Amino acid sequence: MLQHSQVKGPGIGLLGISKGGDLCISMASFLKGITATVIINGSVANVGAVLRYKDITIPPLGINQKRIKIDKSGIADIVDVLNNPLEGADRQSFIPLEKAEGHFLFIVGKDDHNWKSEFFATEASNRLQAHGKEKPAIVCYPGAGHYIEPPFSPMCSASMHVVGNPVIWGGEPKAHSVAQVDAWQKIQAFFHKHLSGKQCVTGKL
C-alpha cells in the first residue's frame, strides 16, 4: 500500500466494521506501518475461522448456538452466541493488539445485537493499558445498532447472516442516524490527526 501512488504515507490507516474490525486489529498487531486503526463494532478476538500469520495461529472464538434467540417472525438475536475471550481456552482467540504500534479508535453502537461491541472495546482498552500502551479512544452511541455506516445510509435493522438465519442488528432509526453523522466526523478527525498530523475542523477527537 505504501508503494501505491495514491497513498501519501508515511503510515497507513485502517477502517473495519464487524468482522472487518478484528481483521484490522490483526493487521495492526502484526504488520509494520499501521499508524491509525478504526474499528466499528468489531471484536478484539478472532472470529469465524482460524487466523494464520507466519508461524502464528489464532483459533476462532468459540460459540454456543443454544444461546440464539428466535422471535415470532423467525429473526434471530445472536448477541449472546460468542464465548467470553477472557475465559478458558477461548483466551487463545484474543488478538495480541498490544503488539500494535499505532493508535486505535473504537466506534460502539450500544444497541448492537450482533455481538457485545462495548465489552470488546473495553477489553481492548484494558489490555493495551496493561501493557503500557496508550489508552484507545472509545466512542459509544446509545440507540445505535451494528452497522454504523457512512452518513445518510439506510439503517439495516435485520438481514441474512452467515449463521444461515436472518438476524437482528439492533438500532433505533433516529439515534442510529445521528451516530452515523457524528461517527463519520470523528473517524475523519482521527485519521487527520494520526496520518497527516493536522487537526480536522469538525469532529474533534
From CA 184, how far away is CA 203, in angstroms rounded? 8
- Alpha-carbon distance of 106 to 118, in angstroms, equals 9
The residue annotated as part of the active site, out of 146, 176, 192, 194, is 146
Is 161 a catalytic site residue? no
Phi, psi dihedrals of residue 84, rounded to the nearest 5°: -85, 120
Residue of 77, 112, 176, 182 marked catalytic: 112
Q: Which residue's C-alpha cell is 501512488?
A: 5
Query: Is 55 marked active-site?
Result: no
Say whether 18 is catalytic. Answer: yes
| Residue whose grid cell is 473495519 | 16
Residue 159 near residue 167 (C-beta atoms within 8 A): yes
Residues taking part in catalysis: 18, 112, 146
